[in-house]
Structure 1
Amino acid sequence: MARRVDARLDSPKGLRTSFVPRLGEPSDRFGRFTESIARAMGTPWFLFVLTVFCALWITYNVMAPDGWRFDSAALGFTALTLILSLQASYAAPLILLAQNRQDDRDRVQIEQDRQRAERNLADTEYLAREVVALRLVVKDLASKDFIRAELRSLLEELDRDKKSETVD
């Protein structure tokens, strides 16, 4: 027993695991276990195996000699009915637990998507404001056509001034 305690103390707290969760300590192991069972129950392979099991059960209890039968067809295969009822009584809560866990994951994903969309919207609005600011700055700048037109008008004025000086 002392060796087991020492081994637990040698490992970091996050690496120590036990199947039974301690009070106040959240454990995800049972949730993962229920999801794996629910995932397995939702497959065609599970339905096939369950069908083969029931067919073998019924065939054995109908065809076997009377002394070897353990579930009577006259009583409606009571043991088989109880086994299937027990399986169903555990399957439903396990499936609901798995669905609740998936709903929790979906909620977290939706929240992360909403936050990402808000950030994208804020970034887009910022970039739109920057583009508008650049357009305003560019609007105030002289374009090539404007500069050419101004230079042409200056050249025309200089030509008129030269002509007026030569005429005088």
Structure 2
Amino acid sequence: MAPERDSATRERSPAGATAAPRPRAPRLDQPRPPRRRFLPEWDPEAFGRLSERIARFLGTGRFIVWMTVVIIAWVVWNIAAPGHLRFDPYPFIFLTLMLSLQASYAAPLILLAQNRQDDRDRVNLEQDRKQNERSIADTEYLTREVAALRMGLGEVATRDWIRSELQDVVKELEERRRHDGHVVFPAERAERSPGRDADDR
């Protein structure tokens, strides 16, 4: 059976013809080859900065003043100038087209600038949140340290406590002196003790 199939395939294929190579399946361990791009490539960051500059200029009073001056000059020229010098007579269709074109480009540029500003605000907000978390952690740590110091200082004799204790001792000695007439301090007792020992002898 196998020789008959081989002979049949040989008869069907024309003489001198070679079998078409099979397309290779893409390998999963290798990256895909880059696709052809019909649009020109540009730097998104540079284009974003340019859009921000344009949007920032569109939002200034200088742009409004210049646009007003150009429109007034356009209208006055096409009304007061001689007929053969008017390039956009009433109803100023070309001026309307230019203003529509300017508005159609200004709106996406402003939206792009707003998106970039939103991204920056989001990053700043995330950084502020992390900074606040670190500040809260530092504050809690300092609070615990201060509480530990207070607890430690509560067991240490402070100057005010020693002063109050000495004042209490002085008051007590004064009361004894008033009551007994004379109070022998420990230092005087130590000085008098050798004399008493000699008398006793």
- Identical aligned residues as a percent: 51
Aligned counterpart, 2:104 = 89
Q: Does 1:134 align with 2:149?
A: yes
CA drift of 1:145 comes to 4.7
1:55-90 superposed Cα distances (whole Å, 9 cap, x missing partner): 1111111111111111121xx100000000000000
RMSD: 2.8
Match for 1:121: what amino acid?
A: I
In structure 2, relative to structure 1, the CA distance for the partners of 1:127 and 1:60 (3 Å cut) is same
Q: Equivalent residue of 2:85, what SS?
A: coil
Distance of 2:68 and 2:158 partners within structure 1: 82
Distance of 2:160 and 2:87 partners within structure 1: 102
CA drift of 1:146 comes to 4.2
Aligned counterpart, 1:35 = 52
| TM-score normalised by L of structure 2 | 0.61
Higher relative CO (Cα under 8 Å, sequence separation at least 6) belongs to 1
CA drift of 1:152 comes to 3.5
Where does structure 2 lack aligned partners over 5 or more consecutive residues? Answer: 1-39, 174-182, 197-201
Of structures 1 and 2, the larger Rg is shown by: 2
Q: Does 1:99 align with 2:117?
A: no
1:34-68 superposed Cα distances (whole Å, 9 cap, x missing partner): 00000000111100000111111111111111111
Equivalent position to 2:63, from 42, 46, 50: 46
Higher helix share: 1
Aligned counterpart, 1:64 = 81
Q: Equivalent residue of 1:28, what SS?
A: helix
CA drift of 1:27 comes to 3.4
Paired residues in the alignment total 138
CA drift of 1:141 comes to 1.0
Distance of 1:122 and 1:109 partners within structure 2: 20
Distance of 2:74 and 2:160 partners within structure 1: 94
Where does structure 1 lack aligned partners over 5 or more consecutive residues? Answer: 1-18
Distance of 1:136 and 1:83 partners within structure 2: 78
